[in-house]
Structure 1
Amino acid sequence: MKKWILSSLVTTSLLFTAACGGGDDTGNAEGGDSGGDSQDDVTLRLAHTGSDSHQYNIAAEKFKELVEEKTDGSVTIEIHGNANLGSEDEAVEQILDGTLDMTTVAADSSFSNTVPVMNVFGIPYIFEDRDHVYSVLDGEIGQDLLSQAEEKNMKALGYWEVGFRHLTNNETEITTPGDMEGLSIRVQPSKVWEAHMEALGASPTPVDFNELYSALDQGVVDGQENPLPTIDSMKFYEVQDYVSLTAHTYSPAITVASSNAWDKLSEEQQTAVQEAVDETTEYQREELQNKEEEIMQTLEENGVTITEDPDREAFREATSGVKDVLSEEVPSSLLEEIEAAK
Structure 2
Amino acid sequence: MRKLRTVLLSTFAISALLVGCSDSKESSSEKSDSVTMKLAHTGSESHQYQIGAKEFADLVEEKSGGEIKIDIHGNSTLGDESEAIEQVMDGSIDMAVVSADSSLANTVPEMNVFGIPYLFEDREHVYSELDGETGDKLLGLIDEKGMKGLGFWEIGFRHLTNNDKEIKIPADLKGMKIRVQPAVVWETHMKALGASATPVSFTELYSALDQGLVDGQENPLSSIYSMRFYEVQKYISLTSHTYSPAVVVMSNRAWDKLSDEQKGWIEEAEAEAATYQRDYLTEKDEEIISELKGEGVTFTEPDRDAFKEATKEVKNSLKNQVPADLIEEIQAK
Fold equivalence (TM over 0.5): yes
Question: In structure 2, what is the Cα distance between the partners aligned to 1:79 and 1:175?
Answer: 40
Deviation at 1:97, TM superposition (A): 1.3
Residue of 242, 255, 259 corresponding to 2:235 = 242
Q: How does 1:195-210 map to 2 (within 5 A)?
A: 195-210=188-203
Question: In structure 1, what is the Cα distance between the partners aligned to 2:236 and 2:258?
Answer: 44
Aligned: 1:128 with 2:121: yes
TM-score, scaled relative to structure 1 = 0.87
Structure 2 equivalent of residue 54 of structure 1: 47
Structure 2 equivalent of residue 262 of structure 1: 255
How big is each residue's C-alpha offset from its partner over 1:287-317, in whole Å with a ceiling of 9 and x where there is no partner?
A: 001111110012111111100x200000001
Task: Give the unaligned 5+ runs of structure 1.
Answer: 1-38
Q: How does 1:160-199 map to 2 (within 5 A)?
A: 160-199=153-192
Aligned: 1:215 with 2:208: yes
Question: In structure 2, what is the Cα distance between the partners aligned to 1:268 and 1:295?
Answer: 40
Q: What is the aligned-residue identity percentage?
A: 63
2:170 counterpart letter in structure 1:
P
Deviation at 1:40, TM superposition (A): 2.2
Deviation at 1:88, TM superposition (A): 0.7
Task: Give the unaligned 5+ runs of structure 2.
Answer: 1-31
Structure 2 equivalent of residue 337 of structure 1: 329
How big is each residue's C-alpha offset from its partner over 1:193-252, in whole Å with a ceiling of 9 and x where there is no partner?
A: 111011101110001111111111111111100000111111100010100000000000
1:318 counterpart letter in structure 2:
A
Aligned: 1:85 with 2:78: yes
Question: In structure 2, what is the Cα distance between the partners aligned to 1:339 and 1:203?
Answer: 28
TM-score, scaled relative to structure 2 = 0.90
Question: In structure 2, what is the Cα distance between the partners aligned to 1:208 and 1:90?
Answer: 12
Q: How does 1:19-38 map to 2 (within 5 A)?
A: none
Structure 2 equivalent of residue 251 of structure 1: 244
Q: How does 1:140-151 map to 2 (within 5 A)?
A: 140-151=133-144
How big is each residue's C-alpha offset from its partner over 1:266-288, in whole Å with a ceiling of 9 and x where there is no partner?
A: 11111000000000011001000
Structure 2 equivalent of residue 325 of structure 1: 317
RMSD, matched Cα:
0.8
Structure 2 equivalent of residue 295 of structure 1: 288
Structure 1 equivalent of residue 66 of structure 2: 73
Deviation at 1:264, TM superposition (A): 1.7
Count of residues in correspondence between the two structures: 302
Question: In structure 2, what is the Cα distance between the partners aligned to 1:217 and 1:263?
Answer: 45
Residue of 314, 331, 341 corresponding to 2:306 = 314
Question: In structure 2, what is the Cα distance between the partners aligned to 1:45 and 1:192?
Answer: 32
Helix, strand or coil: the match of 2:33? coil
Aligned: 1:107 with 2:72: no
Question: In structure 1, what is the Cα distance between the partners aligned to 2:229 and 2:291?
Answer: 11
How big is each residue's C-alpha offset from its partner over 1:24-60, in whole Å with a ceiling of 9 and x where there is no partner?
A: xxxxxxxxxxxxxxx9211110000000000000000
Structure 2 equivalent of residue 283 of structure 1: 276
Structure 1 equivalent of residue 220 of structure 2: 227
Helix, strand or coil: the match of 1:173? coil
Question: In structure 1, what is the Cα distance between the partners aligned to 2:205 and 2:322?
Answer: 28
Deviation at 1:133, TM superposition (A): 0.4
Helix, strand or coil: the match of 1:120? helix
How big is each residue's C-alpha offset from its partner over 1:58-96, in whole Å with a ceiling of 9 and x where there is no partner?
A: 000000000000011111100000111111111111111
2:97 counterpart letter in structure 1:
T
1:73 counterpart letter in structure 2:
G
1:314 counterpart letter in structure 2:
A
Structure 2 equivalent of residue 153 of structure 1: 146
1:320 counterpart letter in structure 2:
K
Deviation at 1:189, TM superposition (A): 0.7
Question: In structure 2, what is the Cα distance between the partners aligned to 1:293 and 1:330?
Answer: 33
